[in-house]
A and B are shown apart, each in its own frame.
Chain A
Amino acid sequence: MRPLTLSRLLLQCVILGAILFCVMVLALKFGAVHVSLYGLGRDLLRVFLGKSTEISSEYSLILNIRLPRILLGVLVGASLSVAGTSFQALLRNPLADPYVLGVSNGAAVGAILALLLEPHLALTPEIASVFTPLGGFLGAAIAITAVYFLGRREGRIDSSTLLLGGVITASLLSAIIILLLTTMPSSNVRGMAYWLMGELSAVPSRPLGWVLRVGFLAAAAVIYTTASDLNLLLSGEKEAMHLGVDVRRVRLIVYIAASALTGLAVAMSGSIGYVGLLVPHVMRMIFGSDHRILIPASAFGGAIVLVIADTLARTVAAPAELPVGAITAIAGAPLFIYLLRRKLA
């Protein structure tokens, strides 16, 4: 009998944080322009000391272009992975991922509509730069709300009804995406296809970046407060209720917060697949199914995986860039099949 303690939790988080840091530094190093780790360390230190003027132009380029992209990867990876962990517990379904309820398809429809509308509206450049992500987030929000009302039974969220409602909504929206794509001018289709596959090259503007950061921290913190409740919810709704869990409240909180995480991530980077499905499973194998450790571990794990995948996307076919979603799917699908077979064996 060895219950989780705060010090053990913190130690594990520090280890994962250190791994993430190393991955981020390596991701900074690799790319079309090669740089030395020593030079990187020296200039990073200068940035921290506020001596930005002393940085060589080469490193300044790296820090201004690669670093924001890596930070975006960290946030998106962590968001998707925490959302996946939450949906798996909420729906009591190990196959659930952040997109199972149609959030990503909703975001895609919103983004495509925004892209189609944009030329017809006289938008200032500032608004135009955030117009597509905004459309994406709105689309996600509308999909979440619709699925919530579809998934209610006798005034409360019912896991299986929610799942069915979500899957149906997702397939309807994906049909709409195909229709919209066929009516799009061909110049937009390629960009949209990349977005649908998921990519991190469009680093959000400063205010959007803050929305993403604050949104992630708030939603993840809210989900984390229900970590013990989620552990019990996994044994079933009735059991959780008899053990003192306010099931209705926890379901609603987790549903909204996990959907918001997904909506934010998808609005910024498109629907990057497999991170939200696989990382929670891998973390569960390493750390067990206790959500008090699983949620932070998934956040770190998702960030690590997505930063590695994006580094590969930038480098394997350089100077061409691949959509990171294609990398996660190509690496993720075989891994998932392996995990599934191992579980069945």
Chain B
Amino acid sequence: MTATARSTSSRNPMDAARAAAEPRLSVEQVSYAYSPNPQQAPIFTLEATSFHAKAGEVTAILGPNASGKSTLLQIISGALHPLSGRVLLNGFVTHDLEPRARGQRIAMVQQESQLLFPSKAWEFVMQGRHPYGRSLRFETDDDVLIAKNALAQVGAEHLSDRWMDQISGGEKQRVILARALAQQPLLLLLDEPTLHLDIGAQVDLLETLRRLAVENRYTVVIVTHELNLVGEYADQVALLQKGKCLRVGAPASVYQRDLLEQVFQTQLTVELGSTGRPRVSILPGSGS
């Protein structure tokens, strides 16, 4: 096990086996309503949504724009209070965790990090160690080792001394991921991490996530629009439409042609690849 992976194994092998079989993340009937003004009817609602995920599993939240994907992710992260229901991570309700305790368990990779004043990549990764100390702290040798390891795990050691505003989008995304790894989380959340990446960098990122989920026993939840990447790399898919969770299951069971066509409002074809993974193709000129 690497320095960035938190040991979750129990002393008793029976306990360990049971822990592996039980879900680490339980999203239980969470709903949400947003209205800009408390007197007005909500302009967006997320209906009760449930799914479970184990350690080492990659779950993707899919859906068209404004379907509630990012809202669901924010609720899972504990940053947003659900209207009803709860999210449990290893038995703890995520939105009841203290900010520091949450930062030690849940890492979030946002769409884009806006830096007001530039910093070096290693300084950025070191931010991931913040939850592990008092408010004013100086990094220990352990922190340095963990940050170095995190950069190594995403293949970005060479970027360590580069300025964050002078590296490419794909490189930046790796450094942001390294910062999340430095948090040594149980749960790794990613909000559209492939947004500004070319197809090669997208595949690279998903391969890395897949590998890290298995090696470090992370539970990974990713919000994305990339149907085929999800089909290839996710263990589980939650399909959302207009704040309603339509289906949860393995990609092959969720990727039904009729369902996807109805959700994404365009004609598609779905085939099973040689690996048993579904592939989605568009039919040009068929947009409604």
Q: Which residues of A approach B to under 8 Å, CB–CB?
A: 1, 3-6, 9, 92-94, 224-229, 231-232, 234-236, 238-239, 241-246, 284, 288-290, 292
Does B242 count as interface, using CB distance less than 8 angstroms?
no
The 13 sampled A-B contact pairs (Cβ below 8 Å) are A1-B144, A3-B138, A3-B143, A225-B135, A228-B130, A228-B135, A229-B135, A239-B108, A242-B102, A243-B128, A246-B99, A289-B118, A289-B119
Q: Once the chains bind, are B110 and A239 in contact (CB under 8 Å)?
A: yes
Q: What is the CB-to-nearest-CB distance from B52 to chain A, in angstroms, rounded to a whole number?
A: 22
B115 to chain A: which residues have CB within 8 Å?
234-235
With A239-B110, A241-B99, A244-B130 in contact, do A234 and B116 touch (Cβ < 8 Å)? yes
Contacting residue for B106 out of A227, A235, A242, A290, CB 8 A: A242
A232 to chain B: which residues have CB within 8 Å?
127, 130
Q: What is the CB-to-nearest-CB distance from B214 to chain A, in angstroms, rounded to a whole number?
A: 24
Chain B, residues 172-184, CB within 8 Å of chain A (1/0): the string is 0000000000010
Q: Once the chains bind, are B99 and A245 in contact (CB under 8 Å)?
A: yes
With A3-B143, A245-B130, A246-B99 in contact, do A225 and B117 touch (Cβ < 8 Å)? no
Contacting residue for A238 out of B79, B131, B136, CB 8 A: B79
Q: Report the bound CA distance from A225 to B137 in whole Å.
A: 9
Q: Report the bound CA distance from A48 to B16 in whole Å.
A: 69
Does B114 count as interface, using CB distance less than 8 angstroms?
yes
Look across to chain B and name the residue whose beta carbon is closest to the beta carbon of A2: B122
Main secondary structure of the interface of A (DSSP, over half): loop
Q: What is the CB-to-nearest-CB distance from A287 to chain B, in angstroms, rounded to a whole number?
A: 12
Q: Once the chains bind, are A244 and B103 in contact (CB under 8 Å)?
A: yes
B101 to chain A: which residues have CB within 8 Å?
244
Question: Which residues 135-149 of B have a CB within 8 angstroms of A?
Answer: 135-139, 143-144, 147-148
Q: Report the bound CA distance from A319 to B99 in whole Å.
A: 59
Q: What is the CB-to-nearest-CB distance from B43 to chain A, in angstroms, rounded to a whole number?
A: 15
With A225-B136, A290-B123 in contact, do A242 and B144 touch (Cβ < 8 Å)? no
| From B101, B102, B114, B135, residue with most partner A Cβ within 10 Å | B135
Extra contacts, 20 of them, besides A6-B138, A235-B114, A244-B130 (Cβ < 8 A), are: A1-B160, A224-B136, A225-B135, A228-B133, A228-B137, A231-B127, A232-B130, A236-B113, A239-B110, A239-B113, A242-B77, A242-B79, A242-B106, A242-B107, A243-B103, A245-B99, A246-B99, A284-B117, A290-B123, A292-B138
Q: Once the chains bind, are B117 and A244 in contact (CB under 8 Å)?
A: no
Q: Report the bound CA distance from A288 to B107 in whole Å.
A: 26
Contacting residue for B117 out of A228, A245, A289, CB 8 A: A289
A290 to chain B: which residues have CB within 8 Å?
123
Contacting residue for B104 out of A225, A241, A244, CB 8 A: A244
Q: Once the chains bind, are A234 and B77 in contact (CB under 8 Å)?
A: no
Does B100 count as interface, using CB distance less than 8 angstroms?
yes
Q: What is the CB-to-nearest-CB distance from B76 to chain A, in angstroms, rounded to a whole number?
A: 12
Q: Report the bound CA distance from A1 to B116 in whole Å.
A: 21
A228 to chain B: which residues have CB within 8 Å?
130, 133, 135-137
The 6 lowest CB-CB distance pairs between A and B, nearest first, are A244-B103, A244-B131, A289-B117, A3-B139, A242-B108, A244-B100
Q: Report the bound CA distance from A234 to B143 in whole Å.
A: 21
Contacting residue for A242 out of B103, B139, B143, B148, CB 8 A: B103
Q: Report the bound CA distance from A238 to B107 in whole Å.
A: 12
Look across to chain A and name the residue whose beta carbon is closest to the beta carbon of B145: A1
Q: Report the bound CA distance from A235 to B114 in whole Å.
A: 6
Q: What is the CB-to-nearest-CB distance from B87 to chain A, in angstroms, rounded to a whole number?
A: 15
Q: Once the chains bind, are B135 and A226 in contact (CB under 8 Å)?
A: yes
A239 to chain B: which residues have CB within 8 Å?
108, 110, 113
Q: Report the bound CA distance from A318 to B113 in whole Å.
A: 53
Chain B, residues 85-126, CB within 8 Å of chain A (1/0): the string is 000000000000001111110111010011111110011101
Q: What is the CB-to-nearest-CB distance from A86 to chain B, in angstroms, rounded to a whole number?
A: 14
Q: Report the bound CA distance from A225 to B114 in whole Å.
A: 24
B131 to chain A: which residues have CB within 8 Å?
243-244
With A235-B127, A241-B79, A242-B103 in contact, do A226 and B113 touch (Cβ < 8 Å)? no
Q: What is the CB-to-nearest-CB distance from B182 to chain A, in angstroms, rounded to a whole number?
A: 10
Q: Report the bound CA distance from A241 to B147 in whole Å.
A: 20
Chain B, residues 61-89, CB within 8 Å of chain A (1/0): the string is 00000000000000001010000000000
Q: Report the bound CA distance from A231 to B143 in whole Å.
A: 17
Does B161 count as interface, using CB distance less than 8 angstroms?
yes
A242 to chain B: which residues have CB within 8 Å?
77, 79, 102-103, 106-108, 110
Q: Once the chains bind, are A243 and B127 in contact (CB under 8 Å)?
A: yes
Q: Report the bound CA distance from A220 to B183 in whole Å.
A: 29
Look across to chain A and name the residue whose beta carbon is closest to the beta carbon of B179: A243
B124 to chain A: which residues have CB within 8 Å?
235
Q: Once the chains bind, are B144 and A3 in contact (CB under 8 Å)?
A: yes
Q: Once the chains bind, are A1 and B136 in contact (CB under 8 Å)?
A: no
